[in-house]
Amino acid sequence: MVSARTLRDVSEQRSDWPRVRLHVVTGKGGTGKSTVAASLALALATEGRNVLLCEVEGRQGIARMFDVDPLPYEERRIATGLPAPGGGSPGHVHALHIDAESALLEYLAMYYKLGRAGRALDRFGVIEFATTIAPGVRDVLLTGKVFEAVQRNARNKKAIRYDAVVLDAPPTGRITQFLNVNNELAGLAKVGPIKSQADTVMTLFRSPRTAVHLVTVLEEMPVQETADGITELRRARLPVGGVIVNHVRPQDLDEEDLEDASGGTLDPDAIRSDLKRAGVDDANGLVDALVAEARDHAERRALEDTQRALVADLGVPTYELPRLAGGIDLGGLYELAAILEQQGFTR
Amino acid sequence: MTRSRGRVGPLATPGHRAPDLAVDALLDDRRTGIIVCCGSGGVGKTTASAALALRAAERGRKVVVLTIDPARRLAQSMGIEALDNTPRPVRGVDTANGGSLDAMMLDMKRTFDEVVESQATPEKAKQILENPFYIALSSSFAGTQEYMAMEKLGQIHRDAQRDGSYDLIVVDTPPSRSALDFLDAPERLSSFLDGKFIRLLLAPARGPAKLMSAGFGLMTNALTKILGTQVLRDMQTFVAAFDTLFGGFRQRAQKTFELLQADGTAFLVIAAPEPDALREAAYFVERLSEDRMPLHGLVVNRASPRPQGSMSADEAMAAATRLRKQDPDSLTAGLLRLHADQTRMVEREALLRDRFAAAHPEVPTAVVPALAGDVHDLEGLRRVGELLAEG
Distance from CA of B246 to the nearest CA of A (A): 15
Higher pLDDT, B227 or B332: B332
Q: What pLDDT shows up at residue A29?
A: 85
pLDDT exceeds cutoff 90 at A266: yes
In sequence order, the 6+-apart residues with CB closer than 8 A to the CB of A88 are A46, A47, A48
Contacts of A322 in chain B (CB under 8 A): none
With CA atoms as reference, the chain B residue closest to A297 would be B338
Contacts of B212 in chain A (CB under 8 A): none
Residue A7 — very low, low, confident or very high, per pLDDT cuts 50/70/90?
Answer: very low
Model ipTM value: 0.85
Q: What pLDDT shows up at residue A71?
A: 95
Per the CB < 8 Å rule, is B335 touching A271?
Answer: yes
Q: What pLDDT shows up at residue B191?
A: 67
Contacts of B192 in chain A (CB under 8 A): 129, 133
Q: What pLDDT shows up at residue B178?
A: 56
> B56-60, B78-82, B95-99: which range is least confident on average?
B78-82
pLDDT exceeds cutoff 50 at B186: yes
Q: What pLDDT shows up at residue B173?
A: 84
What strand order describes the sheet that includes B295-303?
Answer: B88-89, B100-105, B62-67, B168-172, B34-38, B265-271, B295-303, B365-369
Distance CA B54, CA B61 (A): 9
Per the CB < 8 Å rule, is B308 touching A280?
Answer: no
Q: For residues B60 and B193, is the Cβ–Cβ distance under 8 A?
A: no
Per the CB < 8 Å rule, is B177 touching A57?
Answer: yes
**DSSP codes, A137-197:** HHHHHHHHHHHHHHS--TTSTTSPPPSEEEEEPPPHHHHHHHH-HHHHHHTT-SSSHHHHH
Contacts of B277 in chain A (CB under 8 A): 30
**DSSP codes, B4-25:** PPPP-S-SSPP---PPBP-HHH
Per the CB < 8 Å rule, is A250 touching B337?
Answer: yes
Higher pLDDT, B186 or B315: B315
Q: What pLDDT shows up at residue A2?
A: 38
Residue B65 — very low, low, confident or very high, per pLDDT cuts 50/70/90?
Answer: very high
Q: For residues B249 and B193, is the Cβ–Cβ distance under 8 A?
A: yes
Q: What pLDDT shows up at residue B17?
A: 75
pLDDT exceeds cutoff 90 at A258: yes
Distance from CA of B299 to the nearest CA of A (A): 16
With vertex at residue A187, the alpha carbon angle to CA A184 and CA A190, rounded to the nearest 5 degrees, is: 100
Residue B221 — very low, low, confident or very high, per pLDDT cuts 50/70/90?
Answer: confident
> A22-31, B105-114, B128-137, B287-296: which range is least confident on average?
B128-137
pLDDT exceeds cutoff 70 at B193: no
Contacts of B135 in chain A (CB under 8 A): 187
pLDDT exceeds cutoff 60 at A11: no
Q: What pLDDT shows up at residue B74?
A: 77
Distance CA B288, CA B286 (A): 6
Q: What percent of chain A has a predicted confidence (pLDDT) above 70? A: 86
> A37-46, A58-67, A334-343: which range is least confident on average?
A58-67
> A257-271, B66-80, B103-117, B175-189: which range is least confident on average?
B175-189
pLDDT exceeds cutoff 80 at A242: yes
Q: What percent of chain A has a predicted confidence (pLDDT) above 90? A: 62
Per-residue pLDDT averaged across B282-310, rounded?
90
Q: What pLDDT shows up at residue B366?
A: 95
Per the CB < 8 Å rule, is A29 touching B319?
Answer: no
Q: For residues A44 and A346, is the Cβ–Cβ distance under 8 A?
A: yes
Distance from CA of B231 to the nearest CA of A (A): 6
Per the CB < 8 Å rule, is B226 touching A135?
Answer: no
Residue A5 — very low, low, confident or very high, per pLDDT cuts 50/70/90?
Answer: very low
**A167-224 pLDDT, tens per residue?**
999 999 889 989 987 676 655 666 667 777 788 889 999 999 999 999 999 998 899 9
- Going along chain A from its start, the domains and CATH numbers come out as 14-251+316-342 (3.40.50.300)
Q: For residues B48 and B302, is the Cβ–Cβ distance under 8 A?
A: no
Q: State the average pLDDT for chain B.
A: 83
Nearest-by-Cβ selection for A126 from B197, B322, B345? B197
With CA atoms as reference, the chain A residue closest to B321 would be A278
Helix axes of A220-235 and A286-312: crossing angle, nearest 10 degrees: 10
Nearest-by-Cβ selection for B322 from A190, A278, A291? A278
Q: Is 0.90 topped by the overall pTM?
A: no
Higher pLDDT, B77 or A328: A328
Q: What pLDDT shows up at residue B272?
A: 94
Residue A326 touches partner B, C-beta closer than 8 Å: yes
Distance CA A258, CA A123 (A): 66
Bridge partner residues of B44 (DSSP): none
Q: What pLDDT shows up at residue A237?
A: 95
Contacts of A296 in chain B (CB under 8 A): 305, 372
With CA atoms as reference, the chain A residue closest to B307 would be A293
Residue A284 — very low, low, confident or very high, per pLDDT cuts 50/70/90?
Answer: confident
Per the CB < 8 Å rule, is A252 touching B334?
Answer: yes
Q: What percent of chain B has a predicted confidence (pLDDT) above 90? A: 43
Per-residue pLDDT averaged across B380-386, rounded?
95
- Going along chain B from its start, the domains and CATH numbers come out as 30-304+370-390 (3.40.50.300), 308-361 (no CATH)
Residue B8 — very low, low, confident or very high, per pLDDT cuts 50/70/90?
Answer: low
Residue B355 — very low, low, confident or very high, per pLDDT cuts 50/70/90?
Answer: very high
**A312-343 pLDDT, tens per residue?**
999 999 999 999 988 899 999 999 999 999 99
Nearest-by-Cβ selection for A188 from B175, B231, B274? B231
Higher pLDDT, A185 or A135: A185
Per-residue pLDDT averaged across A89-109, rounded?
89
pLDDT exceeds cutoff 50 at B159: yes
